Structure 1
Amino acid sequence: LIVHGFQDSEPSVASLSSSILEYQRENGRRYHALSRGKYVLPNDEDENNRLDLQHELYVRTMHGELALCPKAQGARNVLDMGTGTGQWAISYGMGTTPHFPTIPCMILGSSLVGSPVTVCNTDLEPAADLHPEAHVIGVDLSPIQPDFHDSISQPIASYGTRDDSRPAYADSVLSAAHLSVPPNLNFEIDDLEKEWTWSHKFDFIFARMMLGCFENLPAMMKVAYDNLEPGGYIEFQDMALPARSDDGTLDPNSYLSKWCDACLEAGQNLGRPVWPVVEYKNYLADAGFECIVEVQKKWPTNTWPRDSNFKELGMWAYANIAGSLEGLSLAYFARGLGWTPDEIRVFCAHTRKDLKDPKIHAYWPIYVVYGRKPFDA
């Protein structure tokens, strides 16, 4: 594990700095230390479990693929921006796609309405091709990757109160997602908004769930462009706000709609807007990319769809969002809107009811956008 950007690092890179453990504590949750305050989601165990679950949700959404661009296989130098718990980077480095054990819908969905749905039970499925030739770097503000857990003698405790609706399976099941770190993967703790100092360029840069992470996302795309080899690809997988419904069952005045509006307002107030995912293709074009492709997917908010595939995705999406709604909201709304913790928790309770209501046929729009740096660039 490499740590960048701390004053006690000489020269600016250290094997492991105690500074990264000086976490910020806020409203019962724990947050990153490097570039304090930039990222509004926690880095405690509850949130890390959610990130592992979210990785599984994305892989299922992509029908088992880690990426959709041509560099989904065959890349040599790969960068995973905002790697989180590192599950995507580990999976790419190993050439495997991790899946959680079989979980009935009623447990995973925390009493969601609908008949039980069985999730496929496959521990490790080989990807289309193994990637032993790839060198993967995963970068994040928080040292929450398996390499880091192996580097300290004491476990990181979980701070904060678990949401009441959070599925009880989380601690036991999600631990299965923590894979061994392959030798062709390195995790680095760094701030991507600072100067990139890698001595080589990449042929594949991957980023997922970057909503509200960057002050200037189009500028970050240009930085990525400059750090790609000619012919290299960048791919974004992101969720768009607000939630939508195609049949009008999501009322603009519902708590779910208001929660989405609050996220957009908070991001704007904090100087880190939720950049519109529908514009990603234009941002990539402005940065110089070509052969840009946009693929749209959907995450139902619960198990309301009749289609079995969408019902299953809705089950996972409900656990991902509703099961951790307070963690997604506390710092965002407190810092960005000035709300009190009690106000946020009450608001989340109302929002969770909307997320659980099968009469509201809402979904989260999911976009995959990728582009290529010209060969003659």
Structure 2
Amino acid sequence: MSAPPQAPPEATPSEDLGAPIEADIENNVETDSAYAASLHTFSTSISSSVFNYKYENGRRYHAFRDGEYPLPNDEKEQDRLDLLHHIFKLMLHGSLYIAPIPPNPQRILDFGTGTGIWALDIADSHPGATVIGTDLSPIQPSWVPPNCRFIVDDVEDEWVYSDFDFVHGRGMAGSIKNWDVLYSRVLENLKPGGYLEMQEYETWIRSDDDVGLEGCPCIRRWQEKVDEASRRFGKRMNVAAEQKENLVAAGFEDVTEVVQKLPIGTWPKDPRQKEIGRYELVQMVDAVEPFTLAIFTRTLGWSNEEAQALMAGVRNELKDRRNHLYALVHFVYGRKPGKTDVD
């Protein structure tokens, strides 16, 4: 008889979003020193055609389905993605997901896998499962656990893989043209009782004591332009808050959303929030350029010089500890109707 699915012990409830994060006013100096540990980078050996990378404004972009994804795939971006993985694990107290999947899933898909770090971690923690990671860029490692493999593929195309117990997507904002079609496709390729989990952060910076971001004019203008540019591009970035509704509309059951505040910088008083914020500041400072350069120059017609000037102002405001900034991260999961056959 199938055992009922159990939530991972590390899963955390939604934080009280009405309560501001308490600032550490004793250390309210002007700026954080941006630091980052050396993070390894990856390469892989797939078909040589996908390595005909495009170079633009000093950054490297994917070759497969050229132009479909506006962020770079170079080593600097890979380091940022690995750091973001660490941040999400800190937010979830070491867990990789919050969905109550059965303890022994047989097949797991990670679409938009990036460097493959999430897929590698879940392959290690579930050695009995077959784990597949897909991405437009072949930037995953060639040495992987025997139960993990990577495919260069566009998740918005017809799938050549199916029958999954668990499907995971993270940081897909700005990558998807039609979320309804994507979720219908996920539902179609999940086993009955299987789960989809999406982990998305809002590309909209907030502050409880400066709601209009009057003290951060560069950040305010930047995120307004990111939103405008991504809309014109046809793949909106600020879609995290819509994912619960999208899963319900697609036909998923037991749809659950957990929303957490992600501080930017070491301004919080709470030691755990301060640690998370320290990493997130590094991540955000590094994220400004990839979220700006290609989409501003290609879509809005900005020059590289105009974009660089705005980015410099954004970074300065991010590093100012007097700006108590944070973003919201949405963890959303839903179950395909039917009874699972996984113990």
* TM-score grouping bracket, smaller chain normalisation: 0.7 to 0.9
SS of structure 2 residue aligned to 1:244: coil
Question: In the aligned structure 1, how far is the partner of 2:286 from the partner of 2:54?
Answer: 23
Match of 2:76 in 1: 46
Corresponding residue of 1:133: 128
Q: Distance in 2 between matches of 1:317 and 1:92?
A: 23
**Counterparts of residues 67-82 of structure 1 (less than 5 Å):** 67-71=97-101, 73-82=103-112
Gaps of 5+ in 2: 1-44
Q: Partner of 2:221: helix, strand, or coil?
A: helix
Match of 1:216 in 2: 178
Question: 2 CA distance for matches of 1:79 and 1:226?
Answer: 13
Alignment correspondent of 1:348: 311
Q: Distance in 2 between matches of 1:72 and 1:355?
A: 40
Give the aligned residue type for 1:59: K
Which residue in the other structure is 2:165 paired with?
203
Q: Name the structure 2 match of 1:91.
A: 121
Match of 2:300 among 330, 337, 342: 337
Give the Cα–Cα distance (whole angstroms) in 2 for the partners of residues 214 and 27 of structure 1. Answer: 24
Aligned residues: 295
1:326 to 276, 284, 289: 289
Q: Which amino acid aligns with 1:63?
A: H
CA separation of 1:241/1:50 partners in 2, compared to 1, >3 Å: closer, same or farther? closer
Cα distance in structure 1, aligned partners of 2:75 and 2:186: 30
- Using structure 1 for the length normalisation, give the TM-score: 0.75
RMSD, aligned CA: 1.6
Q: Does residue 65 in structure 1 map to residue 95 in structure 2?
A: yes
In structure 1, which of residues 22, 26, 49 is the aligned counterpart of residue 52 of structure 2?
Answer: 22
Matches within 5 A, 1:128-277: 131-147=126-142, 180-198=143-161, 200-248=162-210, 251-252=213-214, 254-277=217-240
Q: TM-score, normalised by structure 2?
A: 0.83
| Structure 1: 5+ residue stretches without partners | 1-14, 96-130, 148-179
Structure 1 runs (4+) deviating above 4 angstroms are: none
Of structures 1 and 2, the one scoring higher in RCO (CA 8 A, sep 6+) is: 2
3-state SS of paired residue (1:261): helix
- State whether residues 135 and 184 of structure 1, in contact with CA within 8 Å, keep that contact through their aligned partners in structure 2: yes
Q: CA contact under 8 A between 1:66 and 1:72: conserved in structure 2?
A: no
**CA apart distance, 1:242:** 1.3
Instruction: Look up the equivalent residue of 2:226 and give its one-letter code.
Output: C
Q: Is the 8 A contact 2:257 2:332 kept in 1?
A: yes
Q: Is the 8 A contact 1:250 1:362 kept in 2?
A: no
Deviation at 1:376, TM superposition (A): 6.2
